[in-house]
Structure formats: C-alpha cells, structure tokens
C-alpha cells in the first residue's frame, strides 16, 4: 500500500529528514490565515490510503484546530489509515483533577486524537499516572519513543565520563536509560515545586566536586527546574554544567537564565525546532512509522 507524509511549513526540515529516512513522498499542508484568525488549509487533491501527518504540538491551541481540520480533510481526499506523528505532544501533564472542577486535559485531548487518527506516535511524552500511550488514545495505537539514548550518545561524545543528573525524580527514567546505554554514572535530584515559575532543587549526598555534570530532562519550558539544579551543582563544586533535553521549548528568558546560572552548553533534539538542536529524532520516528505502515 502506498503511503505519503504530510507536513506543515514550520516543521519542514524535520519533515524532509523523516521522509528521506522512510523513502516516502512528502507534500505540504498549505495554510492561509485570514485577518480574523481563521485558517484555510489546502491538501493535495488526491491522497493514498495510508497517510502520516507530522505535527508537533508546542504552542498547541491553534495547531489543534488545524490538526483536526487536516485530518478530516485527508479522509475526504482518500486517506483510510491516518497516523499522527507529534514529536512533542501537548496537554499530557494534566492526567488527573488535582482540585475539584479541573478539566483533565490529557483525557480529552487524547480522546480527540483517537477520533481523528488510527495511530499516534510521539517522543518522551509527559506521562506520570498512565502506563502507556495506548491509554492516552483509547482504542487506537499509541507509540511513545524516547530520545534519551540519542542524547546520551551525544553527551558521551561531547563530555566523556560525564556525570548525568536528573533534575527531579520524574526525569530519572530518561537519565537512567541514557546512562545505561553509555556506561555513565548518574544521580537524581529532588524537586519541590512552589509555583509555575518557582522551584527548589536539592542534590543527594554525592561527590560532584570537580565533575563535569550534564543535566538531562524531557522538556525545558521556563527552565526554572534546570536553573535551580545548575545552581545547586555549581554550589557543590561541579567543574562544568551542561543541559540536554528532548523538547527545547525555552519559553521567555529560559536560555538567558540557564546561562546566568552557569550552564555552559544547551543541547536538544529536533523534536521542537530550535537553535540548540543537535540530534535528530527522524530515524526513531521513521522506524515507528514503517512498523505502522507494515501492520
């Protein structure tokens, strides 16, 4: 069965790498934005039965509307099997109602995606109380990949013998994976969240003096957790502190704050387009899409 990759213009470099790795044709979803904020989409007039749509959901609100329209349009134009490739999948952190009346965004966004796509593929999703992506998209195929081994290999090449540091307990899964793959030591810090822009990070009783430390996490948004962890490492005598993340969102002054905290280098995967991109997730995504296409 023939297959096609569709992508939006703002993710074209990753789309080209992914299409090349798959050996699939690539075509664009064309957009026109009207002055009132509405969007007109244009897809290729004829689509094969199997179509994958690449769309990262950083800054997600407008993109979710475009995604829903693109999926519905693709069905009308011939697509029978649709896969969403969303390297960064938004609205995953809110998986329970922490206070009465809160809307559980993960449940409802997942349900929306399950209505539109047979398969959803993502990388290092922000999941805590669910066991797999299959639970996020009920009745569909959910695939969660990890860029941690890629970042671990990059770190090992750039900083031989680095001490990997998880800035909080949630990041331990990614740090442990990267450390095992490269034979590197690691430690896990403890985080206390005081608000959206305020955290307190403490290090375990471990000798970091004179060590080259690399903080590894799934996502950097405001960067406050990484900033506080970097300050703690510097205060304990770390020779250098670098940062590696899968999803480099870097909202507001995040990068400047990291540099002010003594961070030397900041690296990220190309799951989110950013100047810090150093490794590509295209091969990971290509293998997952190939498995779906053969299924």
- Indicate which residues carry an active-site annotation: 191
Candidates 112, 116, 111, 110; CA nearest to 51 is 116
Closest to 221 in 3D by CA, of 99, 135, 128, 92: 92
98 close to 147: Cβ distance less than 8 angstroms:
no
DSSP state string for the chain: --EEEEE-GGGHHHHHHHHHHHT--EEE-EEEE-TTS-EEEE--SS--SEEEEE---SSHHHHHHHHHHHHHHHHHTT-SEEEEEESS--S-S--S-SSTT---HHHHHHHHHHHH-SEEEEES---SS-S-HHHHSTTSEEEEE--HHHHHHHHHHHSTT-EEEESSGGGHHHHHHHHHHHT--EEE-EEEEEETTEEEEE--S---TT-EEEEEEEEESS-HHHHHHHHHHHHTT-SEEEEEEEEE---TTHHHHHHHTTEEEEEEETTS--TTEEE--HHHHHHHHHHHHH-
Lookup: tokens for 14: 């990753």
Q: What is the C-alpha to C-alpha distance for residues 183 and 217, in angstroms, rounded to an integer?
A: 18
């Amino acid at each position: 069965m023939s297959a096609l990759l569709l992508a939006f213009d703002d993710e074209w470099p990753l789309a080209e790498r992914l299409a090349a790795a798959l050996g699939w044709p690539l075509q664009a979803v064309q957009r026109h934005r009207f002055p009132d904020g509405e969007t007109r989409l244009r897809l290729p007039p004829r689509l094969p039965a199997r179509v994958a749509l690449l769309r990262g959901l950083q800054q997600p609100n407008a993109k979710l509307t475009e995604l829903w329209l693109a999926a519905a349009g693709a069905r009308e134009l011939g697509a029978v099997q649709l896969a969403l490739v969303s390297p960064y999948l938004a609205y995953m952190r809110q998986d329970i109602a922490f206070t009465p009346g809160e809307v559980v965004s993960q449940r409802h966004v997942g349900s929306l995606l399950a209505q539109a796509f047979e398969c959803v593929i993502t990388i290092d999703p922000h999941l805590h109380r669910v066991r797999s992506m299959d639970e996020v998209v009920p009745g569909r195929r959910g695939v969660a990949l990890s860029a941690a081994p890629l970042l671990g290999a990059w770190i090992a090449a750039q900083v031989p013998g680095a001490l990997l540091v998880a800035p909080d307990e949630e990041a331990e899964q990614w740090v442990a994976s990267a450390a095992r793959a490269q034979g590197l030591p690691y430690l896990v810090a403890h985080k206390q969240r005081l608000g959206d822009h305020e955290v307190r990070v403490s290090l375990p009783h471990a000798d970091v003096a004179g060590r080259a430390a690399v903080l590894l996490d799934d996502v950097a948004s405001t960067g406050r957790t990484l900033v506080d962890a970097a300050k703690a490492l510097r205060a304990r005598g770390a020779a250098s502190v670098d940062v590696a993340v899968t999803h480099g969102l870097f909202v507001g002054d995040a990068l400047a704050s990291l540099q002010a905290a003594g961070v030397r280098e900041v690296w990220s995967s190309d799951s989110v387009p950013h100047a810090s991109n150093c490794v590509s997730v295209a091969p990971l995504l290509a293998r997952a899409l190939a498995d779906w296409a053969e299924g």
